[in-house]
């Protein structure tokens, strides 16, 4: 008898079988690396170019039977968001470095010039290639010394979401921003057409308050949590037209795993470290953990609205000033904090009512943080303060976007009657069922502050 469960297992087995066959074929073919036979035989299907949030795709040229790219490892000045800059290392002027984009079967030739003060190398994370092209300095190749240029050359035997990063003095070089995405499209085209294809890398930085150079020695306590080396509110929104099929490709080269949560839809996880999964292996989720060194592809059909997309670890959606501060929630600190700050410049504690107070005080200029340091939470939405930082952005889906339009369409105009609204200002309103309450009376009302406005943006 065929039950739903049987069908599911069969499709999973078929999926795993497919993966196994593919890996066997790649392994068999690996012995002979030739100049792109597949590329010559079958012209690639057209694809939608990947869109790197806040980033860019490296141009290439065709030369001597290969697509040629040129990466330059170098120090750069990088802005995480207005108000916080740092000396970072990256490729071709940016962190992350530019996205490399090619098609399964392509022969690629990648020059790497080292303009750093120490040796480096580039590892192509997740790719089938000859061992000597794998980029582990000392193991698979000599170090690329300062001023030298090396060339890597191999044929792309797979498609999927991949990454590149140094494999030399890794702790330092990755901590200060050296990484990038390597996107390979399937030669035969997508089984289901993708209308928008986004990619980004997750990372963490120890840019301590008041400093300008990320600290590579930190292992767990970071100050900034980034998507493509930017924090909210500087992370660009993901934009789509209603009904479009959207793919978000995520890589993680930070020191923590990140449960990435998308509001408004259940997405399918359609690929990972092993490339794109057969459809029988797709699973429906609203939060997907992207582990350290892993990649994940998420796919969904866009529904109109403004939808939050963020890491679900709440400390990863805050910026530098929210970490390691004294907890004095519930304590009346009227006047005290100012006195302490006269003795300890930059001192900041929790507010009496929580951290919202501080975003208000910062907005009013009553509080000034250390130089080059972002407030813990920030960002202004149509209804007031968004109170986020770090790994947070917005998916903006609209009915009337042009296919190739990736510009920020502004805030969503909600249809009339579809926005949560105030019905009372009395804390004793209604007859709610409550088990126990410590408070004898309602708390003193929180003072009104800018950024806590009660605007109404509904239609
Ligand atoms: Cu996270």
The pLDDT tens digits for 262-271 are 999 999 999 9
Q: Could you tell me the residue ranges of all domains in the chain?
A: 37-315
End-to-end CA distance of the chain: 54
pLDDT band at 1 (very low <50, low <70, confident <90, very high): very low
Q: How far is the CA of 260 from the centre of ligand 1 (A)?
A: 7
Say which CATH topology domain 37-315 has.
Answer: Immunoglobulin-like (2.60.40)
Yes or no: say if 338 and 284 are a contact pair by the CB < 8 Å rule: no
257 versus 219: the higher-pLDDT residue is 257
Q: How far is the CA of 289 from the centre of ligand 1 (A)?
A: 9
Q: How far is the CA of 39 from the centre of ligand 1 (A)?
A: 39
Q: How far is the CA of 288 from the centre of ligand 1 (A)?
A: 11
Yes or no: say if 351 and 329 are a contact pair by the CB < 8 Å rule: yes
Instruction: Return d(Cα 66, Cα 68) in angstroms, integer.
Output: 6
Q: How far is the CA of 176 from the centre of ligand 1 (A)?
A: 18
- Please tell me what DSSP assigns to residue 372: T
pLDDT band at 337 (very low <50, low <70, confident <90, very high): confident
**Which residues are placed with Cβ below 5 angstroms of ligand 1, an ion?**
258, 311, 313, 316
* Distance, CA of 60 to chain centre: 25
Count of beta carbons in the 10 Å neighbourhood of residue 433: 4
Q: Does residue 96 carry a pLDDT above 70?
A: yes
Q: How far is the CA of 54 from the centre of ligand 1 (A)?
A: 19
Q: How far is the CA of 342 from the centre of ligand 1 (A)?
A: 35
Q: How far is the CA of 152 from the centre of ligand 1 (A)?
A: 33
Q: Does residue 445 carry a pLDDT above 70?
A: no
Q: Does residue 219 carry a pLDDT above 90?
A: no
Q: How far is the CA of 391 from the centre of ligand 1 (A)?
A: 7
Which tens digits make up the pLDDT trace of 300-323?
999 999 999 999 999 999 887 666
What residues does 296 pair with on adjacent strands? Answer: 250
Q: How far is the CA of 308 from the centre of ligand 1 (A)?
A: 14
Yes or no: say if 457 and 382 are a contact pair by the CB < 8 Å rule: yes
pLDDT of residue 34: 40
210 versus 103: the higher-pLDDT residue is 103
Nearest residue to 264 (alpha-carbon basis) of 246, 279, 290: 246
Q: How far is the CA of 300 from the centre of ligand 1 (A)?
A: 21
Q: Does residue 403 carry a pLDDT above 90?
A: no
Q: How far is the CA of 180 from the centre of ligand 1 (A)?
A: 19
Q: How far is the CA of 323 from the centre of ligand 1 (A)?
A: 14
Q: How far is the CA of 319 from the centre of ligand 1 (A)?
A: 12
337: left (phi over 0), alpha (psi -120 to 50) or beta: alpha
Q: How far is the CA of 309 from the centre of ligand 1 (A)?
A: 12
pLDDT band at 458 (very low <50, low <70, confident <90, very high): very low
pLDDT of residue 275: 85
Phi, psi (deg, nearest 5) at residue 39: -65, -40
Nearest residue to 191 (alpha-carbon basis) of 159, 154, 146, 152: 159
Q: Does residue 185 carry a pLDDT above 60?
A: yes
Nearest residue to 379 (alpha-carbon basis) of 59, 83, 45: 83
Q: Does residue 223 carry a pLDDT above 60?
A: yes
Q: How far is the CA of 252 from the centre of ligand 1 (A)?
A: 10
Going along 13-99, which residue ranges are E strands?
51-52, 61-63, 66-81, 84-91
Which tens digits make up the pLDDT trace of 419-437?
999 999 999 999 999 997 6
pLDDT, average across residues 357-368: 60
Q: Does residue 459 carry a pLDDT above 50?
A: no
Residue 412 makes CB contacts below 8 A (sequence gap 6+) with: 304, 305, 306, 382, 396, 398
pLDDT, average across residues 54-64: 98
Instruction: Return d(Cα 358, Cα 363) in angstroms, integer.
Output: 8
Q: How far is the CA of 240 from the centre of ligand 1 (A)?
A: 24
Count of beta carbons in the 10 Å neighbourhood of residue 223: 27
Q: pTM, whole model, 2 decimals?
A: 0.84
Instruction: Return d(Cα 139, Cα 135) in angstroms, integer.
Output: 8
pLDDT of residue 38: 45
Q: Does residue 137 carry a pLDDT above 70?
A: yes
pLDDT band at 18 (very low <50, low <70, confident <90, very high): low
Burial 284-315 (b: 16+ CB within 10 A, else e): ebeebebeeebbbbbbbebebbbbbbbbebee
Q: How far is the CA of 202 from the centre of ligand 1 (A)?
A: 8
pLDDT band at 375 (very low <50, low <70, confident <90, very high): confident
Q: How far is the CA of 249 from the centre of ligand 1 (A)?
A: 16
Q: Does residue 394 carry a pLDDT above 70?
A: yes
Q: How far is the CA of 223 from the centre of ligand 1 (A)?
A: 12
Q: Does residue 439 carry a pLDDT above 60?
A: no
Sign of CA dihedral 192, 58, 144, 155: positive
Nearest residue to 320 (alpha-carbon basis) of 402, 232, 255, 251: 232
pLDDT of residue 430: 96
pLDDT of residue 152: 98
């Amino acid at each position: 008898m065929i039950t739903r469960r049987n069908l599911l297992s069969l499709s999973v087995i078929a999926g795993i079988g497919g993966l196994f066959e593919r890996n066997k074929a790649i392994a068999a073919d690996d012995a002979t690396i030739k100049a792109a036979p597949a590329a010559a035989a079958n012209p690639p299907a057209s694809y939608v170019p990947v869109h790197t949030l806040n980033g860019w795709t490296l141009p290439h040229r065709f030369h001597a039977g290969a697509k040629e790219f040129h990466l330059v490892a170098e120090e750069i000045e990088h802005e995480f968001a207005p108000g916080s800059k740092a000396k970072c290392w990256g490729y071709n002027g940016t962190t992350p470095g530019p996205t490399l984009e090619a098609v399964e079967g392509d022969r690629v030739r990648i020059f790497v010039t080292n303009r750093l003060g120490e040796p480096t190398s580039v590892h192509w994370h997740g790719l089938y290639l000859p061992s000597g092209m794998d980029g582990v300095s000392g193991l698979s190749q000599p170090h690329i010394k300062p001023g030298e240029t090396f060339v890597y050359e191999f044929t792309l035997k797979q498609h999927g979401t991949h990454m590149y990063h140094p494999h030399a003095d890794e702790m330092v070089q990755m901590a200060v921003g050296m990484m990038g995405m390597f996107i390979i499209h399937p030669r035969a085209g997508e089984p289901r057409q993708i209308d928008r294809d986004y990619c980004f890398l997750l990372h963490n930085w120890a840019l301590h308050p008041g400093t300008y150079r990320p600290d590579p020695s930190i292992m767990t306590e970071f100050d900034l949590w980034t998507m493509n080396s930017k924090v909210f509110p500087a992370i660009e929104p993901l934009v789509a037209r209603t009904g479009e099929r959207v793919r978000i490709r995520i890589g993680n080269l930070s020191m923590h795993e990140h449960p990435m949560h998308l509001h408004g839809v259940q997405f399918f996880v359609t690929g990972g470290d092993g490339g794109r999964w057969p459809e029988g292996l797709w699973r429906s989720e609203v939060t997907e953990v992207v582990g350290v060194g892993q990649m994940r592809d998420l796919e969904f059909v866009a529904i109109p609205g403004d939808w939050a997309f963020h890491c679900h670890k709440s400390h990863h959606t805050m910026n530098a000033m929210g970490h390691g501060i004294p907890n004095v929630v519930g304590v009346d600190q009227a006047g005290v904090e100012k006195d302490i700050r006269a003795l300890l410049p930059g001192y900041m504690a929790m507010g009496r009512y929580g951290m919202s107070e501080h975003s208000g005080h910062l907005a009013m200029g009553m509080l000034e943080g250390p130089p080059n340091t972002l407030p813990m939470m920030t960002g202004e939405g149509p209804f007031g303060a968004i109170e986020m930082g770090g790994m947070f952005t917005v998916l903006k889906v609209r009915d009337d976007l042009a296919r190739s339009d990736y510009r920020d369409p502004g805030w969503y105009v909600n249809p009339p009657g579809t926005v949560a609204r105030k019905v009372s200002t009395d804390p004793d309103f209604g007859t709610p069922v409550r088990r126990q309450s410590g408070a004898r009376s309602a708390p003193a009302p929180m003072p009104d502050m800018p950024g806590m406005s009660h605007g109404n943006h509904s239609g």
